Structure 1
Amino acid sequence: MRFFSTAINFLALPFASANYRNSPRRTLLALAANGVLALLVLVGATLATVLPSLPSFDVVTDYRPKIPLRIYTADGALLGEFGEERRDFTPIDAVPPVLKEALLAIEDARFYEHSGVDYRGVLRAVAAGLTGGMRQGASTITMQVARNFFLSQEKTLKRKLTEVVLAYRIESALSKDRILELYMNQIYLGQRSYGFAAAARTYFNKRLPELTLAEAAMLAGIPQNPAKHNPAVNPVRAKARQELVLKRMLQLGRITQAQYAEAVAEPLRIGRSLQFEAHADHAAELVRQELHARYKGEAYTQGFNVYTTLDKAEQNAAYDAVRRNVLAYDQRHGYRGPEGFVALPDNADEWDEAIERALARHPGSDNLIPAVVTEVSARLVRAEPAAGDTLEIKGDGLRFAARALQPNAKMDLKIRVGSVIRVSQDGKGRWAISQMPEVDVAFVALNADDGSYRAMVGGFDFARNQFNHVTSAWRQPGSSIKPFVYSAALEKGFSPATLMNDAPLSLPGGEDGQPWEPRNDDGYDGPISLRQALARSKNVVAVRLLQAISPQYARDYLQRFGFDAAKHPANLTMTLGSGSVTPLQMASAYAVFANGGYRVTPRLIEKITDARGKVLWQAPPPPARDDGQRAIDPRNAFIIDSMLREVVRSGTAAVASHRLGRNDLAGKTGTTSNAVDGWFAGYAGNVVAVSWMGYGQPRSLGGREFGATLALPIWIDYMRQALSGKPPSERTPPPGVSLIDGDWVYDEFRGEDGVKALDVEVSPFRSIFDAIRRAFGG
């Protein structure tokens, strides 16, 4: 400071004489000189404090941006992203020229000419401000890089001088392209988007090379004020800013008048949220949990890319199948009434605010859009959604809620002005009243050979309920457990041709000391083969079969398929599905029948890479099959497979073979008591899939609902995609089985004239029946 004090005194000497002081002109000059000197002193003093405290320069020379965790399908479709900052690091040579031209035109036209600070730009900005011309900023892109990486937004001389010094340092250390690369990847552009690549996905659901001139100009206009120029929040201001960018590009000769006019006129579709290419929220959440367990907080900032085993087309087919069939079930059971009500004020501004507040409490769910009713009659309903024009619902669109539109409808059912309803739009643009389903659902598909997930839908709407029913919902399996009891019976000498008595059965041990009397849904048929009993899901036969092999034996046998024995009772109700399983357990268990008898372990993650694509972890290849992985005898898997094919060919799931037109489908329906749970588990080729429907708090799904009406349609719709273009699969009989009297049996259980007889109750007329069967070759 002593140096600056001496300098001031020395420079002030010429102005200290009496003659100089007596001249007004000289007095003004003296004041001006003193002002300049004071400014120089202030600058010098500020620099004296700035230079020693400059931050470390490593942050730009070794740039490591916060890049979110991204999750993909096996074929590269984005299905999830986690992190505070949305960012895609993009090398400068991958940025399209149209975007660079737009950005430089509005932010720093002389970027490639100046040395970090554009003094001509400063003078031009001052002149524009004084003359009322186009408003221009004085900060260069290099200065903005300095500010964004090192400094706060406070407007002080010290911060500005630090910015200038850092700009020169950056220019001396990095190339122009590298500086522009840093800027275009680091800058905040609203909606949690950092960098232009992330912004292109957020606002237009596009990659950078796909941007049009109009879209590039709109993105280039955001950095000045991401809050006000954000097109998702303020499309009017964003449009004005875009036109300013285009005008500047025209002035600089970067575009022609025709290009300008075309870009200004181009309609833009602005997204309001990040769009994913596959609907797999529950699967993405499973991956997020795994990555957080491995990497903690770094999982969300280091740019990890996780590639799952999911298939994009199959995942979306599963999602669509779930949504379509849950809504179909919901429509079958009637309209329950509006979701809410809001009293609409008379004032127009307050009216809009009231609707906005009401709809904020009822978020959208894909094509189920919330709206507030503003006009209602039996023939027409008008409603206001959160975005877009007023909707008109009429004709068939009112049919579902017709009772709620009657003047005498009960208040909790009635649709009136102010009611919050759900609407959906069909492919022809027609609106209809709908509703959010209350029922829950699960669907999972695995590769039966290696256990890799092909598709997973853990519930109807992840935003409404994050609980993953595929992995965590323990539900009664109903008749879908029967094939495992039949599999156990094969090891005891039974065969598909074994006859059992399908007749009323009364056993002790019922409630309140009453006998337990299991019943069939379709009556009784007397003597029936096990093949037909499984195909038609005969409950009484299943109970007799379990009685013959013992519940304890069957319960222990279930563990071969991955079931938890503790979750299943050691009594006769086990064969009717009174235990507990998860849909994922069921899929893994049915995979054993599909692949010839081997246990598989479900796996979702195929590989993990860092932000640069380097593989950090790769799933090991499936081990070669050996006896250590075998769950059941290959003969057992072959015979049960043939029986499960019969279920789909002629039994409770026959609709599947008709709709899909294939003869290689296998599976089993399942419906619990009072239709609380509906299941279908099945496979074709190496694709095994399980669907389930039920209420979170268990209650009946309806007296006329079964696994075949609830879960099977989901399975069919998914399999239509999963099996598309794949030829039917056939099974070759393994050694050790023989075809006797038209059905399969283990060789060791053959008698001299056919199948060895078993001590199983059939009926008093068994010997007569057997004689007739042999006589007719049946």
Structure 2
Amino acid sequence: RVISQSTKIYDRTGKVLLYDNHNTIRRTVVSLDKINPYIQNASVAIEDDQFYSHHGIRIKSLIRAFIATVFKGDTQGGSTLTQQIVKNTLLTRDKTISRKIKEMIIAIRLEKKLTKQELLEIYLNEAPYSGNVYGVEEASLVYFKKHASDITLAEAAYLAAIPQAPTHWDPNGPNKIALDERARHVLDLMQGFGYINKEEYDKAIKEEVVFVKKAGSSVKAPHFVFYVRDYLEKKYGEDMVNIEGLKVISTLDFDLQSYAEEEALKEALKNEKEYGGSNIAMVAIDPTNGQILSMIGSRDFFDKKIDGEFNVANSGRQPGSSFKPFAYATAFKKGFRPETVLFDVFTEFNANCSPSGVGYNCYSPENFDSKFKGPMMLKNALAESRNIPAVKVLYLASIADTIATARSMGITTLKDTKNYGLSLVLGAGEVKLVDMVSAYGTFATNGIHYNSTGILRVEDQSGKVLEEYKQDEGEQVLPDYVANAITNILSSDDLRAPTFGRGSSLHVPGYSVAAKTGTTNDNRDAWIVGYSTNIVVGVWSGNNNNTVMKKGGAQVSGPLFNKIMTKYLGISPSGDFSNISFPNQGGSPVLRGLWYGGESFFIDSISGGLATDFTPPEARIEKVITNVHTILYWIDKNNPLGDGLNNPTSDSQFVNWESGVKSWVNNFGAPYISGNSVPNYFDNVHTAHILIPIQVDGIIDGEEIVPETKKLIKFINQTEVIKKIDIYIDSKKIKTITSIPWEYEFDFDLFKLSNGEHVMRIVGYDQLLNQGEDIISFKYKGLDIIDETILLTE
């Protein structure tokens, strides 16, 4: 007999043992006459339908397995029940042709020495039934609290369905629906082979099979542990995990996990009492590397009442409005901006229906408050979680491109774009909480995505390292300014105040935190996902059976989110979010927030005349001549930065969107600027002849700078008209000075400069914003080459 080795899973320190799969092996051996014939026949039907006719091996199955081994490198398949006995009890689990040959020889010998009944008895006492449960008698006691002799036909079908992949087919795991289908397949086979008649089959199909709660276990962080174990079995095989054994150092922060489990239970019990939401799930990930720090799949893994073993964190649920940032990010990539204006008005989105919503299968979603706010900048619409602008954003960004964005950021469940419509942006597509947390991490890192992982290191029993986490550079899946724009919106307590009020559970005092909530229809799901620069936390609340709650979003899931964020950041403080400028990309004025017209002109704010090439950017003001239309009148959604459509009505949504805009303007009006408002003179205070003399003193052009260099640099001007000085290094503004003395002490180490040439640019302004500049080049020579220049803004 082969001696099984334990697989042990530890926390990230390698000191806390989370799981030992052989710590408490459970097995009760019984004779075949104590095992219901239903179980015997069900197992033969699904595992080895020729069991009673072969002599230990099946030639056709072996040929098929041999071809798979030689041409595909797959050594699985082709095993009879007798071979499985040999594999489970007598041989090691190495996947080689030589071991397979030994297995075949021993199987043939066993068939000569033992009867079929004896072989079947051994198999049913050795088969794995998930976790530490082995043998059908123990499985019957664990799952149904009855002996194997008392099992019903339907229960027998479920038990027979498990051993092929016991962790995957765990009745309390995330694949219960698939297990139901497999159990029915067992019944189909039993009827097909004549083991049961139609009456027995029909009765079993109608029977409701209920699995009882497993006894307590010493496993810690069980949802996370079995998430990791499932990964290990898929990568290395069940034999490696169950028999050969592995040592696994996971990514779990056990201190955070322990705190989160305690608080999750408290919040879930409170939600159950106050809102009717009995369950809760949470995932925390480090966005800078994708490592899972904490995972809770239910309020209590061992609570059968709420189906506690089911891992909601790794299962599909509708995310509500927490999906919106993916659509907005996609739109920002295409040229839309946080300032772009869309109308929050009644809008019918089925182009076959009238603008008022008359027709077949019409779609006109409402906002959570059943109100309309008229023209709204995208940043306000997202922060306030307005539904109608969000649906418009999805249309402008396109469903396919939005799904592509979500996939690139870590969402794995949205497969076929044809399955989704405009309601996707309101959460109509199921996603996993663990994926959502991973995806939001991409916002936290300014567009760099790191795949989520629960593994730091895996060793075999000899100490050989099979895999080890290595920090990589991630993948830049979003432009940094796009990700940062989403972060700036979701972190602004001012922007979300109209919906959530100030100081809500989304706000973590003292820390930079961005967050978005999500609530599905009838409050069936309550989400919140948020992040700082060093942690992403996602919380889901609801009921596994999808029953409604009284509240959603921030009220139900916000308190746990806030507690975990506060706890972690109190120990590991995060830095502030970046402030990356959104580029000026041109396009129609509506993209820049000027919604009441498409023909614009620029004036100089000081002289009042038309701006010229000499008018400073700070003095230029864009104005539009009033001519209000929907955004589809001004732009082509497929090329928003280009020219608009020659015929806007060719866009199927134009008529209905235009109707809503016109109705709102008729009721509320719009700023009026006529063509006669265009000035008939040009800016006359900013000309090519007005230059502000300024000179840099304290650094020489071409000077070499080494680490730990500090220089007091003075900015000399003879005219004394300077009112402000901006200091740039490599086009990044690092300081603004608005009063004397006109000097600045440079600590070059603060700027994290790369080795090589750099440019210092000094711009001086007078009270009319006339300007002058001086440019100095210098060479930085550090000890090591540092990554791209990152400047610290003071």
**TM-score, normalization: structure 2?**
0.47
Bigger-Rg structure (1/2): 1
More helix by share: 1
**TM-score, normalization: structure 1?**
0.47
